[in-house]
Structure 1
Amino acid sequence: TADPLSGALVMATFGLATIPALFFLGFLTKFLQKGSLRGTMMKLAALLVILYGGITLYKGYNFVAHPQMMKERMDKMHEGSTDGTLTGQFNGMKCAPGKCG
């Protein structure tokens, strides 16, 4: 916000609204550290990290092994994104200098 008092009010509201979540997180952390649940959570976390690493390696392999497919996907993502520098339009809207809409 442009007004300092409004900004302070927004920050105070955010801070007060965050307190219950932080207390819950502290309680949950203490609960998960007890007994065999901690070992189970560590194994689950390790499994998720390994799974995410495998997915990342697979995506990297596809990027290297099939460059044409990746180029087609990139071209499709950029299709119609902006042509403002050439035609004065952005996604079909007329643009004035410094403004679009």
Structure 2
Amino acid sequence: MRGALASVFSLIRDVSVPYGFEIEGYPILSTTRLRMVADQKNLVYHFEVALRPNAFWVDLKKIDFSGKAAIPKPDLSNQQTYSGETSGYCKESAPFRFIGF
């Protein structure tokens, strides 16, 4: 599993847009701020945040998804740095809203 995870993250890093990178005239080009690899068999999601020094993961089997509107997620708004399995740090939040085009 670790070898597969390392391989997928390696590929994602190769196609990520470097943090802070911009090209004039290309407003849709966006810095890669978060990389995620989903282990759908074991229900574990692995994350790398561009402004954090390490990766972390969330074991979805440890989270209660019975709520109707609230979605549990790790809080990345306060420069928190996570390490290892982080399902215990997930807080209820509003669902993600797409801006659209």
Common topology (TM > 0.5)? no
Give me the TM-score of the superposition, normalised by structure 2: 0.22
* TM-score, with length taken from structure 1: 0.22
Which of the pair is proportionally richer in helix? Answer: 1
Q: Taking CA–CA contacts closer than 8 Å with sequence separation of 6 or more, which of the two structures ends up with the larger relative contact order?
A: 2
Question: Is the radius of gyration larger for structure 1 or structure 2?
Answer: 1
